[in-house]
A and B are shown apart, each in its own frame.
Chain A
Amino acid sequence: MPTERWWLFLLPSGLILSSVMLYPLAYAFYLSLLNYDLGSGSHAFIGLGNYATLLTDQRFWSSLGQTLLIAVAAVGLEFCLGLTIAYGLYRLTFGVRTLNLLMFLPHIITPVVAALFLRWIFVGRWGLLSSILISIGIFPPDWLGSPNWARLTVVLADSWQFTPFMILVLYAGLNTVDQSQIEAAQIDGIGIWGLLFRIMMPAIKPLIVFVLAVRFMDAFRIFDTIYVLTSGGPGTATETITMYTYALAFRLLEIGKASALGVLILIILATLTGLLIAVAYRRERGVL
């Protein structure tokens, strides 16, 4: 059979990907070498100047720090909650499907709409949380208006949307663990938590690594939620690296500098993806 012919099937998709994804990407690299102001249309080649400016830019480092802080906190919370709930569902003998479906709802909603739902819970004074606190006589903090509360709110919002993802994937993973292994451990008199930490978690380790890495990378790009909840505020307290890039490109129209920042994000993410592949593909067909 002429195997050479199969590449023809890749052609349409390849054309789209190279013209709408790879070409713009190369163009972005080019733009990152320019001092390009879209407002006035002036552009000049400045080599790596944008990168040099960014690496000494206080706002870049602070946004990188915010991003890491928010991503680590959110993914950590999602994983702990997700694992606990998934294990609970695993041990439950009835009603699992309905519960799973109910819990999944926040994940599948349009991110912007989900963020609005939460905005209406946390918004100062009129939000559900504040009005409950006020009516029982507690003066609520300004959830979205003070730096630390705003960060916490963003973490909670991300967790609200992505814990269901963790639950679904981890629950599916727990169900693939070999029954005989579990029974053997139970005969040895292992407790329920011992079973989870010593038998089941090691058994689904590749899946755990995969899901943590994917989630971390997505959380690293967080945009929709923050755009709606705090738009990076108060001040720049919740300005993540994507929000900063957006502000540079589409508010200040500094296209060159914004592209350079985008390239830096890509480099950071590429390093992380490399780690993911190294770990997840060490065991062939270990996941999915």
Chain B
Amino acid sequence: MQRRLQTQLALFAGLCGFAAVNLVPIIWTVLTSIKQPVDAFSIPPKLIFAPTLEFHYQVWVEKQFWRFLINSVIISVCTVCISVSIGTMAAYGISRMRSVASRGMLFGLLVMRMFPHILLAIPFFVLAHFLNLINTYTAMVLALTAINQPFTIWLMRSFFLDVPGELYEAAVIDGANAWQVFARVALPIVRPGLWVTALFSLLLSYNEFLFALILTGPDTKTLPVAIAEYGAEDISYWSLSAAAAIGIMLPIVAFMMMLQRHLVRGVAFGAVKG
């Protein structure tokens, strides 16, 4: 018993150590974001200093990062609304098809999920260029909706599979039409799954970088593009970019708290990083 407890404690300490090393880059950035440049550039690194929130204020208000936040929010929310509603319908359709056909569809979706994004980015850019859609929300929302579809459908389908088939039959006998069976019988049962899918989809859109890099412009730039440009600049802006990076991370920490029970399902289907 004594030995068992000892090994458990050693194991716990080891895993805590690993987690701590993993968190160093995040903690270091948090510290940098509340340090004066004098302290940030000291060797050896300073752990004790007078903290300040000045840089958070500067970057979000004076450097107008709030505008990129608004762009990110508009694009992500529009994407989620469109993507999850049509994806849910498709997932329902697939879940009710015969297995051969549905397997074919799911395979096709998996193939689409594996498309190299850079290959799609080129025609997107050329088409958006000719349609005058560069630097519009429309182009970004369309692109993100399309690349979100395979993931959304796969994930929603896994929730629809839990709906017992007898319920559908009973509803049909009661005289419900196809749409009513979907909206009144299936949807209420998968509602929790709907929220999970929406949150993952939101995360995917919020994090997306490549398409945002080529399709957005000065008016529609999203947070990842803004921070990538800003962070790569002169290192004397270090505290400012660190403050922006931390600000971008905070909503994600909130997402993670909400999704913790569902992380495995979502992550296995390729959420977070598509």
Interface residues of A (CB under 8 A from B): 1, 3, 5-10, 12-14, 16-17, 20-21, 24-25, 27-28, 31, 38, 85, 88-89, 91-95, 97, 99, 101-114, 116-121, 123, 126, 128, 131-132, 134-135, 160-161, 163-165, 168-169, 172, 214, 217-218, 221, 223-224, 227-228, 231, 242, 245-246, 249-250, 255, 258-259, 262-263, 265-266, 269-270, 273, 277, 288
Residues of A within 8 A of B49 (CB): none
Interface residues of B (CB under 8 A from A): 8, 11-12, 14-16, 18-19, 22-26, 28-29, 32, 40-45, 82, 85-87, 89-90, 92-94, 96-98, 105, 107, 110-112, 114-127, 129, 142-143, 145-147, 149, 153, 158, 168-169, 172, 178, 182, 203, 206-207, 209-210, 214, 223-224, 227-228, 231-232, 235, 238, 241-242, 245, 248-249, 252-253, 255-256, 260, 263-264, 267-270, 272-273
Task: Report the Cα distance A147→B231, complex, angstroms.
Answer: 22
When A116-B227, A117-B26, A221-B116 are in contact, do A10 and B94 touch as well, CB less than 8 Å? yes
Q: Which of A89, A106, A110, A126 contacts B15 (CB 8 A)?
A: A89
- How near does chain B come to A276, taking the closest CB pair, in angstroms? 9
Contact status A172-B264, CB under 8 Å:
yes
- How near does chain B come to A204, taking the closest CB pair, in angstroms? 13
Contact status A246-B28, CB under 8 Å:
no
Contact status A120-B25, CB under 8 Å:
yes
- How near does chain B come to A143, taking the closest CB pair, in angstroms? 13
The 8 closest A-B pairs by CB, nearest first: A262-B119, A9-B93, A135-B44, A13-B90, A20-B146, A24-B123, A117-B25, A12-B86
Task: Report the Cα distance A16→B11, complex, angstroms.
Answer: 50
Q: Which of B114, B224, B273 contacts A273 (CB 8 A)?
A: B114
Task: Report the Cα distance A265→B116, complex, angstroms.
Answer: 7
- How near does chain B come to A175, taking the closest CB pair, in angstroms? 10
When A17-B149, A110-B249 are in contact, do A104 and B256 touch as well, CB less than 8 Å? yes
Residues of B within 8 A of A89 (CB): 15
Contact status A262-B122, CB under 8 Å:
yes
Contact status A221-B117, CB under 8 Å:
yes
**What secondary structure prevails in chain B residues at the interface with A?**
helix
16 other A-B residue contacts (CB within 8 Å) besides A160-B22, A245-B122, A288-B269? A16-B149, A24-B120, A27-B123, A27-B126, A28-B119, A93-B8, A99-B15, A102-B22, A108-B203, A109-B249, A135-B44, A169-B268, A221-B117, A242-B116, A265-B116, A273-B114
Q: Which of B25, B82, B97, B231 contacts A3 (CB 8 A)?
A: B97
Q: Which of A6, A10, A94, A126 contacts B235 (CB 8 A)?
A: A126
Contact status B115-A25, CB under 8 Å:
yes
Contact status B272-A108, CB under 8 Å:
yes
Residues of A within 8 A of B245 (CB): 113, 116-117
Centre residue among B16, B228, B269 by max chain A CB count within 10 A: B228
Residues of A within 8 A of B89 (CB): 9-10, 12-13
Q: List 30 A-B contacts (CB under 8 A).
A: A3-B97, A3-B98, A10-B94, A10-B105, A13-B90, A16-B82, A20-B145, A92-B11, A101-B256, A107-B267, A110-B249, A112-B224, A113-B224, A113-B248, A117-B25, A128-B45, A131-B43, A132-B45, A160-B25, A221-B118, A245-B122, A249-B121, A249-B125, A262-B119, A265-B116, A265-B118, A266-B116, A273-B110, A277-B110, A288-B158
Task: Report the Cα distance A246→B209, complex, angstroms.
Answer: 13
Contact status B178-A85, CB under 8 Å:
no
- How near does chain A come to B98, taking the closest CB pair, in angstroms? 7
Contact status B22-A28, CB under 8 Å:
no
Task: Report the Cα distance A87→B53, complex, angstroms.
Answer: 41
Contact status B25-A12, CB under 8 Å:
no
Task: Report the Cα distance A242→B178, complex, angstroms.
Answer: 44
When A111-B273, A116-B231 are in contact, do A259 and B119 touch as well, CB less than 8 Å? yes
Residues of B within 8 A of A106 (CB): 22-23, 25-26
Q: Nearest residue in B to A118 (C-beta to C-beta)?
A: B25
Contact status A1-B169, CB under 8 Å:
yes
Contact status B15-A217, CB under 8 Å:
no
Residues of A within 8 A of B269 (CB): 288
Residues of B within 8 A of A27 (CB): 123, 126-127
Q: Which of B43, B120, B129 contacts A135 (CB 8 A)?
A: B43
Contact status B19-A103, CB under 8 Å:
yes
Task: Report the Cα distance A245→B236, complex, angstroms.
Answer: 32
Contact status A20-B111, CB under 8 Å:
no
Task: Report the Cα distance A266→B115, complex, angstroms.
Answer: 6
Q: Which of B19, B96, B210 contacts A224 (CB 8 A)?
A: B210
When A113-B248, A120-B25 are in contact, do A246 and B149 touch as well, CB less than 8 Å? no
Task: Report the Cα distance A263→B262, complex, angstroms.
Answer: 35
- How near does chain B come to A286, taking the closest CB pair, in angstroms? 13
When A113-B249, A172-B264, A258-B122 are in contact, do A88 and B227 touch as well, CB less than 8 Å? no
Contact status A6-B97, CB under 8 Å:
yes
- How near does chain B come to A31, taking the closest CB pair, in angstroms? 7
Residues of A within 8 A of B18 (CB): 85, 103
